[in-house]
Structure 1
Amino acid sequence: MKSILVLTAALAALAIQAPAQTTSLAATSRVAADQLATSKGPLTIQPITHGSVVFTWNGKTIYVDPYGGAAAYAGLAAPDVVLITDIHGDHLDPKTLAGLSVGKALLVVPKAVAEQLPAEYKTRVRILGNSQRLDTLGLSVSAIPMYNLPVAADARHPKGRGNGYVLKLGGKNVYLSGDTEDIAEMRALKNIDVAFVCMNLPYTMDVQQAAQGVLAFKPGIVYPYHYRGQNGLSDVDGFKKAVNAANKNIDVRLRNWYPAAQ
């Protein structure tokens, strides 16, 4: 009987420890965060996976396109703002949202996303259409068009449905492309300090398109993200070479957005 009790206690202890171990593994698989100085303190940039990134700035935490399971966000502060770019499951992921502490977060989304969000989030949703802006919590969020070329109603990403975003944080402008090609609105961006630019076929654009778009608007720093497509991971090294061959002043930062796949 004593041995049975000991075994039962050991199994119970393992059951208690298992979630903590899972959380620890998820947290340690993330790449290291970067920091950028702003007029209101450092902006911490934490890549998560695919098109998801977490920003911490001025006491606020911003989740972008939370996706891939809540464990990927273990150890990070609960969000004050959640930005969602589009309706596809790698951007609007209700299962991941349900596992996160988003009870007090403001959800900034395009109309098409708002229409698909579960009812419990509706009171905290702010809808932004392309070219609209929201000033809240000391930061500014501007919705930027994102779409496929040529423009077509049956495109995977039709014009007007989804949003890219420009965040203004302490005098720094951060651009999130969402799912787009090198559209005129992206090329026309000005004074972007940090850009996150997608490059995955056949959904968005290829590496050369992405490079040419970046060379047009000249961000100070660019992160290639959202680079998993039908044929695996895009050539982000080739993207860096193409950008820096034409403009050595753009800081192309390659990070592993798919640690589980490596």
Structure 2
Amino acid sequence: MKLTPLLLAALAALTTPVLAQTPAAPRVAPDQIATKNGPLTVQPITHGSVVLTWNRKTIYVDPYGGAEAYAGLAAPDVVLITDIHPDHLDPKTLAGLSVGKALMLVPPAVAEKLPAEYKKQVRVLRNGQKLDTLGMSIAAIPMYNLPEAPDAMHTKGRGNGYVLGLGGKNVYLSGDTEDTPEMRALKNIDVAFVCMNLPYTMDVQQAAQGVLAFKPGIVYPYHYRGQNGLSDVAAFQKTVNAANKKIDVRLRNWYAGAK
């Protein structure tokens, strides 16, 4: 039997394997916060990872959890890394992202552990140092456990929290810390991302008391998965707002795409 071109095409379609497309990891909807230079977009990713977009610049904070979590997002202009632990410094995730043109701002301990291919992109910031670049300011804030001890999970000076100046708004990223004097002394913070997960950082009550001390306009609980599951961020919100109703506590699901 002679096969017509139409029949041949139909048979080919039946025998050609269908390649499944990997769906993008689920993400919660982003928030937008007004600044003098247009909106600041806040896109939760997972755990301590967040993507900030402002003034045509994209900032990745602690990229972690697999490159698929960043599908569809713009390549970063800046990558901030807070610490050496694998939920902050994740070479596998970095390798899957388009970070080749990004400025990487990191503490010295992270610079020592970054793969060699990124060395030319790295700018080291130590606790207390500040950099102005790409129309924004970036200050490195100490992050560490209390009481201070040589064998602490996070020793003072090793990692950085960050305060970003973006269009007249000050954005604080806590990294892994407890409610240190440096956190409590922060001034004029408009947006804060604050960790709360035992035994690595602090509990919900510590986080609430730290936030009540520096009084950010908006606070996002993030990095809230610990050894015993997720911290009670609703209790954090209740504690903060019982003492200060002006603080906008925004609860978002940072583990929507967690496996």
After TM superposition, the score normalised by the length of structure 1 is 0.94
Offset at residue 5 of structure 1 (A): 3.0
The CA deviation string for residues 232-262 of structure 1, in whole angstroms up to 9 with x for no partner, is: 0000000000000000000000000001359
| Identity level (%) | 79
Q: Give the aligned length.
A: 252
Confirm or deny that 1:252 pairs with 2:259. Answer: no
Query: Which of 135, 138, 143 is the equivalent residue of 1:146?
Result: 143
- Measure the CA separation in 1 of the matches of 2:86 and 2:11: 46
SS in 2 for 1:120: helix
SS in 1 for 2:123: strand
User: Which amino acid in the other structure matches residue 22 of structure 1?
Assistant: P
Confirm or deny that 1:8 pairs with 2:22. Answer: no
Query: Which of 8, 31, 35 is the equivalent residue of 1:34?
Result: 31
SS in 2 for 1:7: helix
The CA deviation string for residues 134-174 of structure 1, in whole angstroms up to 9 with x for no partner, is: 11101000000000001011100000000000000001000
User: Which amino acid in the other structure matches residue 23 of structure 2?
Assistant: T
The CA deviation string for residues 43-102 of structure 1, in whole angstroms up to 9 with x for no partner, is: 001000000000000010000000000000000000000000000000000000000000
Matches within 5 A, 1:1-262: 5-9=12-16, 11=17, 14-15=18-19, 18-19=20-21, 21-23=22-24, 26=25, 29-261=26-258
The CA deviation string for residues 26-47 of structure 1, in whole angstroms up to 9 with x for no partner, is: 2xx1001001111111100100
SS in 1 for 2:257: helix
- Measure the CA separation in 1 of the matches of 2:15 and 2:115: 40
User: Which amino acid in the other structure matches residue 215 of structure 1?
Assistant: L
- Measure the CA separation in 1 of the matches of 2:88 and 2:256: 18
Structure with greater helix share of residues: 1
Unaligned runs of 5+ in 2: none
Unaligned runs of 5+ in 1: none
Q: Which runs of 4+ in 1 moved over 2 A?
A: 1-9
